[in-house]
Each structure stands twice: as structure tokens, then as C-alpha cells.
Structure 1
Amino acid sequence: MLNHITVMGRLTRDPELRRTQSGTPVASFSIACDRDYKDKATGERPTDFLDIVAWRTTGEFVSKYFSQGRMAVVSGRLQMRDWTDKEGNKRRSAEIVADSVYFGDSKAKEGQEPPASTGGPVEAAGGDPFGGLPGGFAPNFGEPADDGTLPF
């Protein structure tokens, strides 16, 4: 069976990092995801607010490098959780358990340094997308030059 979800949205608040009794880190946050269509009455896109839970190193990464307003791409699984409220009523909520979280925007907030290796599309400090590699190195994304050695 397959339970996989990938969503992209902006954090609605700073991630909250806690630790279980055994010391395992867990971060919780929520993102706002716009829908693909506009509402006919208002002309605006409806927004869904999704709760995210990130465990261990993923949770630590999120709490260190993400903050409110930052665009995030979250990939993981959807999980339903049953719980009882203060009045004794049974409740059910859906949350995404994140396997990976990537940057969805290209700029770090002012005064925030991006990590050395992010796993996501983030520019290095100073706006150089190649991290100031020596010799002005930039990967060649074009067609390779024909040197006559290819068999086709």
C-alpha cells in the first residue's frame, strides 16, 4: 500500500522543537498551502493549513533553518491521530509525518546563514548559486560538445 504526500507552502509559525522522554528530537509546525483554483465569489485561492511533524535530524534541521514565512517542500506520509479533548470528546486530526523537508524559496532571511549542504534549492551566501567555487566554476547544463568520439 502507498501512503506518500508531498506539499509546498509557507510556515505559519516558527517550528517548535521538543524532545521525548528518551531525548529524541521532534519538531512541529504548520504550513499554508494555496489550492490550484480561485474561488468564484472572492477571486482568491482557498488556503489549507497543514500540521507537520518532523522527527530526529529532520526535526533539528527544520528548527534550525526554517522560520515563519519561509517556503518549505515537505515529503512524507499522512497520519490520522485520535485523541480526547478536555471535555472528554473523542477527536481525530490529520498530520503529515515528514521524511524530508526542503527549502522552497531561494533566499535566506536577512542575517540568517544558509547551511553548507541543504538538500534543497538554496543560494549560497552572497547570492552566488555555486557557493563561490574556485575558478568561477559553474556546471555546464547545455549539450555536450561533439568531439567525434560518441558512437551515435
Structure 2
Amino acid sequence: MLNRVILIGRLTRDPELRYTPAGVAVTQFTLAVDRPFTSQGGEKEADFIPVVTWRQLAETVANYCRKGRLVAVEGRIQVRNYENNEGKRVYVTEIIADNVRFLESQNKDNNRSNSNSNRNSNNQDPFSDNGKPIDISDDDLPF
């Protein structure tokens, strides 16, 4: 049997980090994943998929992911159920992620937010050559 999921999408909001009574970190977020077709009106549609991460991965996601960030999620589908306050059985389908990859650099996110506040001038690339040749000694090359 196999239960494996790979999704690529954007976070709809900042992840929520909590800790269980035993001190285990858990993060929940929702991933917006575009559907491969458009509606009859020509509009793109998306699915909003709940994702849960645990332990160290949960803390990493909470520290480095923000709303709008493009990520790839690998994990499994889990369906759980519980009885709500009205006595009705509620079913929840979610992805339990065991790997989250950041598909955009954090600098790209920072540059996007910094450009909005005109602070982008301090974030110059130290490796840009401005079209000039780079002077590298043969002694500096590893081959």
C-alpha cells in the first residue's frame, strides 16, 4: 500500500506554531495549489489544502515560511474524525508533511517587501560584476 503526496503551492497565511502538552512542536498552514484548468469563465481555480508538520520541521516552517511563500510539500494524506460540541461527527482531511522545501529564496521575499518600503538599496549583491570581467587568479581555482 502507498500513501504519498507531493504538492507545490503558496501559503495562504503565516504558519501557526503550537506545542502539545508533551512539548512536541506542531505547525499548521494551508497551501493554495492551482488546478490544471480554468473555469468556464476563464478564471484559474485553486484547492486550499491543510498541511501539518511536526517536531523540528514544524519549528523550521514556522521560522522561515510566511504568507505567499512558494513551497513543495511531501507527505501523506490523513483523515481523522472527532465529535464536535453539537455531537456531530466531523471528518478532517489533511496532509501530514515529512518534508517541506522552500522554492523561492528568502532574499526574494525580502526584496519584494523591501522594494515596497524603498529599502532595497542596502541589499546589493556582493557577487554582481556589473558587466565587468572578474579578476581571479589561477591559484584561487579549485581545479
TM range (shorter): 0.7 to 0.9
| Residue 82 (structure 2) aligns with | 83
- Cα distance in 2 for residues equivalent to 1:2 and 1:76: 11
- Cα distance in 2 for residues equivalent to 1:96 and 1:82: 14
| Residue 8 (structure 1) aligns with | 8
**Secondary structure at the residue paired with 2:86?**
coil
**Offset from partner CA, 1:103-141 (integer Å, 9 cap, x none):** 122453227xxxxxxxxxxxxx9486xxxxxx6x9xxxx
Residues 27 and 126 (structure 1 numbering): CA distance in 2 closer, same or farther, change over 3 Å?
A: farther
Structure 1 vs Structure 2 CA RMSD: 2.3
Give yes or no for the alignment of 1:74 onto 2:73: yes
- Cα distance in 2 for residues equivalent to 1:57 and 1:24: 9
TM-score normalized by the length of structure 1: 0.70
**Secondary structure at the residue paired with 2:36?**
coil
Tell me the matched-pair count.
117
The one-letter code of the counterpart of 2:4 is: H
| Residue 38 (structure 1) aligns with | 38
Gaps spanning 5+ residues in structure 1: where? 112-124, 129-134, 138-152
- Cα distance in 1 for residues equivalent to 2:34 and 2:106: 21
Gaps spanning 5+ residues in structure 2: where? 112-123, 128-135
Deviation, structure 1 residue 45 = 1.9
**Offset from partner CA, 1:53-100 (integer Å, 9 cap, x none):** 000111011000000111110000000010122211111110000010
- Cα distance in 1 for residues equivalent to 2:15 and 2:46: 20
- Aligned structure 1 segments of 4 or more residues deviating by more than 4 angstroms: none
- Cα distance in 2 for residues equivalent to 1:127 and 1:50: 39
The one-letter code of the counterpart of 1:4 is: R
- Cα distance in 2 for residues equivalent to 1:34 and 1:127: 36
- Cα distance in 2 for residues equivalent to 1:98 and 1:45: 26
| Residue 130 (structure 2) aligns with | none
- Structure 1 or 2: more strand by fraction: 2
TM-score normalized by the length of structure 2: 0.74
- Structure 1 or 2: more helix by fraction: 2
Residues 25 and 107 (structure 1 numbering): CA distance in 2 closer, same or farther, change over 3 Å?
A: closer
